[in-house]
Amino acid sequence: GWVDFDANGRPADNTHLSAATCASLERVWRAEEPHEFSCLRTICREETYDLVAGIITLAHESWHLRGVTNEAQTQCYAVQSSELVALRLGVRPIGARAIADFVAARDAIAAGGEYHSGQCRSGGAYDLHPETDVWPD
């Protein structure tokens, strides 16, 4: 996905998401029975990883809509808000927490690049709630 920014760095009022991302989000949101995400602690079907990718993408682009332009900072904030996004899409609390733990663990082992920072950790510069020891928040 992406968000357009104007010449002054202000974000647009909307985000562009791929058809695959939208389809994943719709599968989560419209599910008659909430999806089970406890498999994220072991091994899941590919569809489950696609659902998680949709959730983290929406969380990431939401931070761009708030005006955050740095990709590593945006991704770190997305990791920390993935649980809330999942809850708002109807995921049960235990599943939302499994998603948050999964994306935090995956992000922690991702090496460098513009989407990752050593400051994405408890007490780091990108910690949204440095007053707590909980990670992700």
Tell me the two tokens of residue 67.
Answer: 């005006």
Please identify which residue in the block is written with the tokens 């920014």.
Answer: 5
Amino acid, res. 24: S
pTM equals 0.94
pLDDT for 137 equals: 73
Burial 48-77 (b: 16+ CB within 10 A, else e): bebbbebbbbbbbbbbbeeebeeebbbbbb
pLDDT for 33 equals: 86
Q: What is the mean pLDDT of each run of 10 residues along the chain (137 residues)?
A: 96 97 97 91 96 98 98 97 98 97 92 88 96 89
Total domains, the chain: 1
Residue-number span of the structural domain to which 92 is assigned: 1-137
Given a contact cutoff of 8 angstroms between Cβ atoms, the answer to whether 37 and 85 are in contact is no
Q: Is 2 left (phi over 0), alpha (psi -120 to 50) or beta?
A: beta
Tell me if residue 36 falls in helix, strand or coil: coil
Rounded Cα distance, 103 and 22, in Å? 19
3 Cβ partners below 8 Å, 6+ apart?
Answer: 11, 12, 14, 15, 16, 61, 64, 65
pLDDT for 111 equals: 67
Tell me if residue 59 falls in helix, strand or coil: helix
β strands within 66-135, DSSP E:
none
pLDDT for 93 equals: 96
